[in-house]
Amino acid sequence: QKEVEQDPGPLSVPEGAIVSLNCTYSNSAFQYFMWYRQYSRKGPELLMYTYSSGNKEDGRFTAQVDKSSKYISLFIRDSQPSDSATYLCAMNFGGNEKLTFGTGTRLTIIP
């Protein structure tokens, strides 16, 4: 069993829809949770960075962490074609610790 599980997709949704991306993890020691967006042939771009259980909102993006269930989510509202990318969840134990990544979900927003 992988430490972090993420559905690789591909996921296709129409423009304007709400997108839900999810990851589960097995190690309860993970403390910090991140979502990255990666366009083809580019480095990952940090979208959301969270620590505690609960919701964090930034524009059209909402990150949700449920430590009791070891489950994290990223919601994208009013999805745009420019949101088409691979989304990676990642987590670590804190500080300068290395990240453990999910496999990434390929998302396509259909105009």
Partner 1 sequence: GAVVSQHPSWVICKSGTSVKIECRSLDFQATTMFWYRQFPKQSLMLMATSNEGSKATYEQGVEKDKFLINHASLTLSTLTVTSAHPEDSSFYICSAPQRSGELFFGEGSRLTVL
The structure tokens listed for 19 are 């997108």
42 lies in the binding site for partner 1 (CB under 8 A)? yes
φ, ψ dihedrals at 76, nearest 5°: -120, 120
Binding residue (CB under 8 A) for partner 1 from 46, 55, 69, 81: 46
Q: What is the DSSP string of 42-85?
A: S--EEEEEE-SSEEEEETTEEEEEETTTTEEEEEESS--GGG-E
41 lies in the binding site for partner 1 (CB under 8 A)? yes
59 lies in the binding site for partner 1 (CB under 8 A)? no
The residue (of 14 and 41) whose beta carbon lies closer to partner 1 is 41
The residues that touch partner 1, with contacts defined as CB under 8 A, are 32, 34, 36, 41-46, 49, 88, 90, 92, 94-96, 98-99, 101-104, 106
